[in-house]
Structure 1
């Protein structure tokens, strides 16, 4: 879907934000770029929709160079969600969501139906919220509108630049869960930037860890945690590294659902092996003495996994 080939970016002041990046983002993948402040992750994100021009190399979308796309059509097919929600304060929620569909000359009826569909999809009653102004909403509700606006014209790609970092912990966790649930329904290609390893592990299909403009490691959360490429990766992910392993009692987070259809694993399976199973499954059936005793969901397990190993960090 998205492919970087030897991409570099040097600004006029001589700062090199991207040194030589080559990686791909698969169609329908939740791809998280993570790293410390100033590592180049936001610059990398902004090169995808040409908000920042690259200095060298090539970026492809669907095997076509992004430089060959009409810039307006390129951006209309790429939703963008910022940390600074950036809703237009004088426009209603419906008007904020309608901006790109109007530019694409959708009919009023189609736009109204789309607004209704999207608001309801993120748990905001359409008739209650569509005529409100942004200042009448909480921070978490405004950020939901930011996500909805990015989805309005049904783009293939969504870029998200630390969209939840300004929110309180409760709102942030709720929106993380919401975006996981939403992705199961919409199956978009999402490129998500964060500096929070907990958020990356929870959300990502694959993680791209950057440092000083270089890509240090790309892999599943389990690969990044269990097989760090070097000391930097090991340090950055210290809170979830194997050396901090203690027994994690998963019986406290099991649900009573023993419906068949999910892969079965023993309750004696190690947390890291459970995490490996969750790279390709959303639910696991937990067994004891070969008999199902409950289910474990990916979201519940990753939350417990992160909290547990952070407590064991040194």
Structure 2
């Protein structure tokens, strides 16, 4: 299949994003364009939210009829895709002073978080698949480039890149929710936090939720610290340790191969050297302390998760029994 055939099969919105859609043959005045339509839609979203965006609202803003817009953008879904593409923009160029994958990914995370803070309506856009548009692809490309010298596999680099974009999106969602609460209630951020503290105090008791109560009393919900940044940094700690393990295993394998090349020279004449080397390499991999430790760690973590699930169910049952007991006591009184 030729590239032209592939382009013809692209969904209309993606084709518009890449600039390979057919130019409209007719339409209103020449000042109308896809770019102006998208800009007008973004202005509406910035001022009134994504729910206010419609083909008729955009047409009214531009002074045209809705049918005029459809000659340039064939559906609202295509318009939303183009809005997302425009608002997302391109990732920042790598700072010359930024050294290493960790610093670069942190830079991308902060840049994405800022985009969501400026245009929170992006968080309401549905995720319908992998990033196929130019700008969305550029962000993923930047993350993969930052990890290109780490020794991670392609799948692992994608996973780490998604860790960054996911953390930025989650931070943006929470921040947008608080911002909306401030907007609708007229309370500032500190007042919203104080209001939440009072609500927690009303329902979270030490006997029912001892650990959450302890955290509340410590002021975690009114703290100025950023739990999202902290969580991402600890995620990076794990990735860094994983990368170090990959490099150690790689150097150990290369060292073993180099040392074994001379030791097996006398066996080469027997014609069995290749088989023996392969069997030996498999034995080394099975006996590698790092591999064994990783396997045991995974098994231990699985056991912990199962135990936590059982404990959570037991605590849920405990709270239910406690409530029933209190109700019985209250009735007797």
TM-score by length of 2: 0.26
Task: Report which structure shows greater RCO (CA 8 Å, sep ≥6).
Answer: 1
The structure number with the bigger radius of gyration is 2
Higher strand proportion (structure 1 or 2): 1
Higher helix share: 2
